C-alpha cells in the first residue's frame, strides 16, 4: 500500500469535501459530497451517539444510495446542519426521486463542543446555515486541524481537530478516512508528544516522533464531563460495495479508532464511523479484497485521527492546549 496523491479522503475519485465554521462559536460543519449518489453504511460503538437518518443505511432499506454525509459540531443543535445540506442539494436538482419530487438523502452525526470556550449565546443556532455553506465550498482540497467539524473539538489533554489520510492498495483500489476528533480519551501516549497511532505513521505525517512510553496500569481520569465527547468519522473507497459490505468496512475501521485514542468507544462518547463506496472499481475476485479494505480503512482512520490533533491550531479562549504549542518546536 501507499498513500494517495493528496493523502486525503478525496483521493477517492468522485468525492469532495466542504467545510464551514464559526470561530466565535468555536464550531463547524464538514460535508462529504459525491459527484453522484453513493453506497453507504454505518457502525456505532460509542454509548452516546447523536445521529440523523442512519437507520436507512441498513442493507434491507429501500434507498440504497445517498447524496452526502455530514459531520457537525453543536451536539443536538448540530443535527440541523444536514437540513441545510438537504436544501442546498435540492436546489442543485439532487436527491431520490419520489412523487415528482427530489429528496436528498443526507445522513449525519454530531459531536459535543458546547463547552469548548466558544460563545454559544445564539438566538438561532448556526448549523443549518453552516451546513449549506459547507456544501457550497465542496472541493478536493481539505483544510485539516482546526477546521470544519473539528474547529472546536477537544480530547482529554489536547485540542482535537479534523483529520484525513488515504491509501492505495496493490489492486489499485483507494481507501480514505475523514474524522472529527473530539474524544474523551487521549491521542498521545503518556502526555505526549508521541501518538498512540505512531506504529501506523507514514513518513512524518504527524511529527515522526515514533512510539512513546505509557503506564499500562494507569486508569483513565477524564476531565470532560460525561456525554461531552464523541469522535465521528467517514471511511471511503472507490470499490463497488453493497450496503452490507460498506457496513463491514465501517466495523473494521473502528479498529483504527481504538489504536489512536485511549480509551475509545466509552459509554460517554458517541463514537461512529460511516463508510462510503463510489463503486467505480469492481472488487477483485477471491474474497480477500474486502479484508484488505477493512484493514486499510482502520490504518487510514488511525493516521487521520493523529493528523487532526497534530495540525490543530491555538485560538483565543481555548480550553485545551494544542500539540503544536507544546511540542511543535522540539
Q: How many residues does the chain have?
A: 330
Is residue 295 helix, strand or coil?
helix
Grid coordinates representing 180 are: 472529527
Residues of the chain with pLDDT under 70: 222-227, 329-330
Task: Give the pLDDT score at 47.
Answer: 86
User: Helices 289-310 and 243-260 meet at what angle, rounded to 10?
Assistant: 40
Q: What is the pLDDT of residues 61-119, one digit of tens each?
A: 888 899 999 999 999 999 999 999 999 999 999 988 888 889 999 999 999 999 999 99
User: 298, 303, 306: which is closest to 194 by C-alpha?
Assistant: 306
Position 227 scores a pLDDT of: 52
What pLDDT was estimated at residue 147?
98
Say how far apart CA 318 and CA 102 lie, in whole Å: 42
Summarised one tens digit per residue, pLDDT across range 173-207 is: 999 999 999 999 999 998 889 999 999 999 999 99
Cα 250 to Cα 248: distance, rounded to the nearest angstrom: 5
Give 279's contacts (C-beta < 8 A, 6+ positions apart). Answer: 38, 39, 238, 239, 240, 241
Give me the torsion for CA of 189, 235, 142, 79, rounded to 10°: -100
DSSP string, 252-266: HHHHHHHHHSBS-S-
Provide the grid cell at 177: 478516512
Contact, 46 vs 52, CB < 8 A?
no
Q: Report pTM.
A: 0.95
Element (H, E) at 322: none
Of 98, 42, 50, 3, the closest CA to residue 247 belongs to 42
Predicted local distance difference test score (pLDDT) of residue 216: 85
Residue-level pLDDT at 211: 93
Amino acid at each position: 500500500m501507499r498513500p494517495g496523491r493528496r493523502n486525503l479522503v478525496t483521493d477517492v475519485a468522485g468525492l469532495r469535501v466542504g467545510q464551514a465554521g464559526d470561530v466565535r462559536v468555536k464550531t463547524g460543519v464538514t460535508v462529504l459530497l459525491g459527484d453522484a449518489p453513493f453506497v453507504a453504511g454505518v457502525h456505532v460503538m460509542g454509548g452516546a451517539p447523536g445521529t440523523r437518518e442512519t437507520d436507512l443505511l441498513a442493507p434491507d432499506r429501500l434507498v440504497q444510495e445517498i447524496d452526502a454525509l455530514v459531520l457537525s459540531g453543536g451536539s443536538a443543535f448540530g443535527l440541523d446542519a444536514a437540513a441545510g445540506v438537504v436544501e442546498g442539494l435540492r436546489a442543485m436538482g439532487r436527491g431520490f426521486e419520489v412523487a415528482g419530487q427530489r429528496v436528498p438523502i443526507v445522513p449525519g452525526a454530531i459531536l459535543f463542543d458546547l463547552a469548548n470556550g466558544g460563545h454559544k449565546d445564539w438566538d438561532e443556532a448556526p448549523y443549518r446555515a453552516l451546513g449549506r455553506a459547507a456544501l457550497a465550498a465542496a472541493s478536493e482540497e481539505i483544510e485539516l486541524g482546526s477546521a470544519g467539524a473539528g474547529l472546536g473539538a477537544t480530547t482529554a489533554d489536547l485540542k482535537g481537530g479534523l483529520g484525513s489520510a488515504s491509501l492505495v492498495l496493490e489492486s489499485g483500489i483507494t481507501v480514505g478516512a475523514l474524522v472529527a476528533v473530539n474524544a474523551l480519551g487521549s491521542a498521545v501516549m503518556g502526555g505526549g508528544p508521541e501518538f498512540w497511532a505512531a506504529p501506523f505513521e507514514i513518513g512524518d505525517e504527524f511529527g515522526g516522533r515514533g512510539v512513546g512510553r505509557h503506564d499500562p496500569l494507569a486508569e483513565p481520569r477524564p476531565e470532560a464531563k460525561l456525554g461531552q465527547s464523541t469522535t465521528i468519522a467517514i471511511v471511503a473507497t472507490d470499490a463497488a460495495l453493497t450496503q452490507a459490505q460498506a457496513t463491514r468496512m465501517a466495523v473494521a475501521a473502528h479498529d483504527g479508532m481504538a489504536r489512536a485514542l485511549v480509551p475509545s468507544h466509552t459509554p460517554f462518547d458517541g463514537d461512529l464511523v460511516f463508510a462510503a463506496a463510489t463503486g467505480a472499481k469492481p472488487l477483485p475476485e477471491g474474497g480477500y479484497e474486502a479484508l484488505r479494505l477493512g484493514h486499510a480503512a482502520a490504518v487510514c482512520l488511525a493516521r487521520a485521527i493523529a493528523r487532526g490533533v497534530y495540525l490543530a491550531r491555538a485560538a483565543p479562549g481555548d480550553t485545551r492546549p494544542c500539540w503544536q504549542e507544546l511540542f511543535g518546536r522540539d
